[in-house]
Structure 1
Amino acid sequence: MKVTKLGWTAYAIAAVSVLLDQLSKYWILYVFELPARGSVPVAGPLSLTMVWNQGVSFGLLRADQDLTRWALAAFAIGVSVVLALWVRKAGRPILAYALGLIMGGAIGNVIDRIRFGAVADFIDVSALYFPWVFNVADAAINIGIALLLIDMIRGEKRGTSANPTEDAA
């Protein structure tokens, strides 16, 4: 099946998301050396706090066994493959952007699970009563999910489906 222009856009968004995530983690781990510092206030409610997340998302469902680590990595890879196939026929920009962000975030965190056995989280806004420390990949996933929900709501209002082949029928 031919990849649409929006599909290629989604792949580019995924690649940029992975790149930004991995560059930020490289800087945090090896340049700024946050693991040795623990937590560093930045500005206002923002701090950099080193957390090694062995759980699913935002540290939920902690997975400190090696089998679970690989199961989570395999699941994220599977989700990324499904999204990569879905986005090939994306007919709406918001859908393509959403899937690209989710794919990129999932791949960014999979790289950490494979390399380190856990995901490097460091963005801490707990002063805003947000209890989790997260990273660029997590932000991409969450923004992607929000865009996906917006696309679904907009599609329902227009009477269209999330599947562009159904829209054409």
Structure 2
Amino acid sequence: MRLMARFAAAVLLLDQVTKFIVVQWIGLDRIGQMAVLPPWLNLRMAWNRGINFGLFAGEDEITRWALVVMALAISAWVWHWVSRHPQGLRGQVAAGLLIGGALGNVIDRIAYGAVADFLNVSAPFWDNPFSFNVADIAIFLGAAGLVLFTGEGKSGRG
């Protein structure tokens, strides 16, 4: 449990620090985009009011708060599940990644009304229109890790 909490806290902190730098210091919300290592890595501001790729996006407050409640419920369920069914090292890390990322995006929805996405990865001859953030990476890795590593380290009790 302690490992899961540490990973969740680390992801949450890293996510919020990077968003603060990008939005408050760099002002990417005003300038829109910035080349970092073109074409491979760019900063491209996008306010995501939905979930991945803008799915279920809505401008209304009901959608915003429904997504906050959903992320909090999923985080609480994962925390509860891991505390009742202890996982191995990789399962705890995966749960921490997912919870920390989900909470990072919850903070954005509360503070900004939308999730601050800013990382854009493209390639020569392919301009990716989508942006993401540290929390999105953590959520993806955490969910994949829970699928792959659930049950590792169980004591064999039935």
Normalised by the length of structure 1, the TM-score is 0.84
Question: Partners of 2:136 and 2:153 in 1: how far apart?
Answer: 26
Instruction: Report how far residue 54 of structure 1 moved.
Output: 0.2
Q: Which whole-Å deviations, capped at 9, do the CAs of 1:55-100 have from their partners, x for residues lacking one?
A: 1123222122110100000010011111111222423111111110
Amino acid at match of 1:148: L
Amino acid at match of 1:99: A
Contact 1:126–1:132 (CA under 8 A) maintained in structure 2: no
Equivalent position of 2:49 in the other structure: 54
Equivalent position of 2:76 in the other structure: 81
Equivalent position of 1:108 in the other structure: 104
1:142 aligns with 2:131: no
TM-align CA RMSD:
1.9
Equivalent position of 1:3 in the other structure: none
Question: Partners of 1:132 and 1:100 in 2: how far apart?
Answer: 25
Equivalent position of 1:29 in the other structure: 23
Equivalent position of 1:99 in the other structure: 95
Question: Partners of 1:68 and 1:164 in 2: how far apart?
Answer: 39
Report SS of the residue matched to 1:168: coil
State percent identity of aligned pairs. 40
Equivalent position of 2:67 in the other structure: 72
Count of matched residue positions in the alignment of Structure 1 and Structure 2? 154
In the superposition, relative to structure 1, how do residues 146 and 129 fare at CA in structure 2: closer, same or farther (>3 Å)? farther
Q: Which whole-Å deviations, capped at 9, do the CAs of 1:13-64 have from their partners, x for residues lacking one?
A: 0000000000000000111111121111100410000000001123222122
Equivalent position of 1:14 in the other structure: 8
In the superposition, relative to structure 1, how do residues 163 and 92 fare at CA in structure 2: closer, same or farther (>3 Å)? closer
Instruction: Report how far residue 162 of structure 1 moved.
Output: 7.2
Report SS of the residue matched to 1:50: strand
Question: Partners of 2:93 and 2:78 in 1: how far apart?
Answer: 11
Question: Partners of 1:105 and 1:52 in 2: how far apart?
Answer: 16
Amino acid at match of 1:95: G
Question: Partners of 1:130 and 1:151 in 2: how far apart?
Answer: 31
Question: Partners of 2:7 and 2:119 in 1: how far apart?
Answer: 21
Equivalent position of 1:155 in the other structure: none
